[in-house]
């Protein structure tokens, strides 16, 4: 049935990365291996939402890895704003946290 859909919208509740130390936080730190993208891609024309409370569990490396792997495999993503990426690249982690918090408030992303 999924193969027949024009688009599949799904939430990626974890960064896709390898060999990274998780950030310090209260609660579980999630991450999935980069090869997970192969199973995601096999589902069809998928759009992944990255707007959730675990996408930053592996810090800057995790979100960069996720975006790069998705793009390299033709998987579309939404929810990771350009300003967020810029803040992370510049090392402005407090600004990045504010952006993620605002994204959750303004878009109604809850998990």
pLDDT 10s digits, 60-95: 888 889 989 999 999 988 876 656 666 666 676 776
Res 56 pLDDT > 60: yes
Q: Is 13 exposed, middle or buried (0-12, 13-18, 19+ CB in 10 A)?
A: middle
What's residue 14's pLDDT? 93
Average pLDDT over residues 25-53: 90
Res 110 pLDDT > 60: no
What is the C-alpha separation between 48 and 25, in angstroms, rounded? 24
Residue found by looking up tokens 């990626």 in the block: 12
Helix axis angle for 82-89 and 59-72, nearest 10°, is 130
What's residue 25's pLDDT? 84
SS3 37: helix
Of the chain, the percentage scoring pLDDT greater than 70 comes to 75
Q: What is the dihedral of CA 11, 98, 91, 10, to 10 degrees?
A: 10
Res 47 pLDDT > 60: yes
Average pLDDT along the chain: 81
What is the C-alpha separation between 80 and 69, in angstroms, rounded? 14
What's residue 30's pLDDT? 92
pTM summary value:
0.72
Average pLDDT over residues 40-60: 87
């Amino acid at each position: 049935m999924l193969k027949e859909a024009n688009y599949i919208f799904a939430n990626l509740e974890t960064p896709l990365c390898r060999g990274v130390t998780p950030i310090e936080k209260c609660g579980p730190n999630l991450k999935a291996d980069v090869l997970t993208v192969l199973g995601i891609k096999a589902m069809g024309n998928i759009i992944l939402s990255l707007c959730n409370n675990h996408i930053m569990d592996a810090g800057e490396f995790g979100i960069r890895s996720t975006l790069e792997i998705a793009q390299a495999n033709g998987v579309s993503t939404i929810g990771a704003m350009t300003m967020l990426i810029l803040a992370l690249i510049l090392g402005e982690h407090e600004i990045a946290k504010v952006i993620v918090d605002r994204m959750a408030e303004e878009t109604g992303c809850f998990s």
